[in-house]
Amino acid sequence: MTTSAQTPVKAARGANFILARRILAVVGVQNMSLILALVLLVIFIGVQNSNFFYASNIATIGTTIAIVGVLAVVQTVVMLLGGLDISVGSQAGLTSVVSAMVFMSTGSALAGIAAALVLGLCLGLLNGIVIIYGRVNAVIATLATFAAFRGAANLISDGRAQGYTGMNHLFVFLARGDIVGVPVLIWILLVVALLVQLMLHFTDIGRNIYAVGGNAIAARLAGIPLNRYIVGCYMLVGLVAALAGILLTARTGSGQPTSGSQGLELQSITAAALGGVALQGGRGTIVGTILAVILLGVLENGLIILNVNSFWQDIAQGALLVVAVVIQQRRAGTKGVGLP
């Protein structure tokens, strides 16, 4: 056959091309572009200020993104389901205050943590119930609880930081400890991300979440209990938001009603959207979200290192969310004639 006599160079190039395509198929276009953006950003910042590469700075980035990271992971889950949770930051604030207050009155860190986690589940349950039984749009429902939870946090704390956990071993371990040289905060992010990833990928629960987000009517007619999934996902968000609240308490040494948790909703939604989670639901991965979280963390750190006015960070964040969604819509081929 003449085909076997083709030049080896051409064949090799073909093989490379196939390999490249296969890698792209496995990693995904979205993740590939995130990695590319990350590399470019790191090079840009590193060239301007080589302190960026210090191990201490890398660890700083890691610990700053842990809290927003766990929230972005669960935000991804509700977004896959076709919902949204704007109240995550307020939930973190409220549970942070409660964890510190319970700790102060009982003297037990475990009691504080348990109280926060149970409260988180209840807050999530409330969101789910409002959405399902009140038939309220998820954005509106969680916008309302966003304000209400924040108000509750300020009310019980009188708007002030509560307690002092800086002397408690468990809280200090959570905030500043390390396991085999890696900060505990980063371990927590990794474990949460891994568990959720395993759930989404290998269990019927995860597959049904994708199905509900992809086509809720089809999922319902196939016998998937939509309500249970919606409530369950919002409870998962509540639980993880409580975890974020506990970490917030541990990092700052006291229960914080608003400081530190403000803006977490925007950051987690931005990360998920940038990571490729479709706003209509049904499409997206945890890997993409984590990459986006790292990208945002590096960006924030870079702006600080390069002495950029910190107000620019909010502008950059907002701009990134819009850009991420615009890219998403373009790729989905949504034609705009006007607003729907």
Q: Shortest approach of another protein to residue 225 CB, angstroms?
A: 5
Q: Does 329 bind another protein (CB under 8 A)?
A: no
Q: What residues form DSSP beta bridges with 182?
A: 179
Total site size for another protein, rule CB under 8 A: 22
Non-local (6+) Cβ contacts of 148 within 8 A are: 90
Q: Which is nearer to another protein, 38 or 279 (CB)?
A: 279
Give the shortest CB-224-to-another protein separation in angstroms. Answer: 7
CB of 300 to another protein, least distance (A): 33
The least CB distance from residue 135 to another protein, in Å, is 15
Residue 251 touching another protein (CB under 8 A): no
Instruction: Report the residue number, 202 or 312, with the smaller CB distance to another protein.
Output: 202
Q: DSSP secondary-structure letter at 281?
A: S
Q: What is the separation of C-alpha 43 from the centre of its chain, rounded to a whole number of angstroms?
A: 25
Of the candidate residues 112, 238, 282, 284, the single one contacting another protein (CB under 8 A) = 282
Phi/psi for 178 (5° steps) reads -145, 155
Question: According to CB under 8 A, which one of 113, 116, 211, 324 is a site residue for another protein?
Answer: 211
What is the amino acid identity at position 229? Answer: Y
* DSSP-based three-state secondary structure for 286: helix
CB 298 within 8 A of CB 61: yes
The answer to whether residue 195 forms part of the interface with another protein (CB under 8 A) is: no
Distance CA 143, CA 335 (A): 28
Euclidean distance between the first and the last CA atom of the chain, given in angstroms as a whole number: 58
Q: For residue 128, what are the CA distances in angstroms to 35, 218, 231, 236, 238?
A: 35, 21, 4, 11, 10
- Cβ 189 to another protein, closest distance in Å? 23
Q: Which of 246, 257, 283, 299 binds another protein (CB under 8 A)?
A: 283
Backbone angles phi, psi at 182, to 5 degrees: -105, 130
Residue 208 engages another protein in binding (rule: CB under 8 A) = yes
| Residue 313 interacting with another protein (CB under 8 A) | no
Question: Minimum distance from CB of 72 to another protein (Å)?
Answer: 22
- Whether the CB-CB separation of 52 and 229 falls below 8 Å is answered with no
Q: Which residue stretch of 125-133, 156-164, 199-207, 254-262 sits at the interface with another protein (rule: CB under 8 A)?
A: 199-207
Does position 279 bind another protein by CB under 8 A? no
Residue 215 in contact with another protein, rule: CB under 8 A: yes
217 lines the binding site for another protein (CB under 8 A): yes
**Residue 21 in contact with another protein, rule: CB under 8 A:** no
Contact 237/134 with Cβ under 8 angstroms?
no
| Residue partners of 137: CB distance under 8 A and separation at least 6 | 131
Select the residue interacting with another protein from 28, 46, 177, 214 (CB under 8 A): 214
Q: What is the full DSSP assignment across 299-340?
A: HHHHHHHTT--THHHHHHHHHHHHHHHHHHHHHHTPPPSS--
CB of 205 to another protein, least distance (A): 6
Q: Is 246 left (phi over 0), alpha (psi -120 to 50) or beta?
A: alpha
CB of 222 to another protein, least distance (A): 4
Q: Residue 81, interface with another protein (CB under 8 A)?
A: no
Residues forming the site for another protein (CB under 8 A): 202-205, 207-208, 210-211, 214-215, 217-226, 282-283
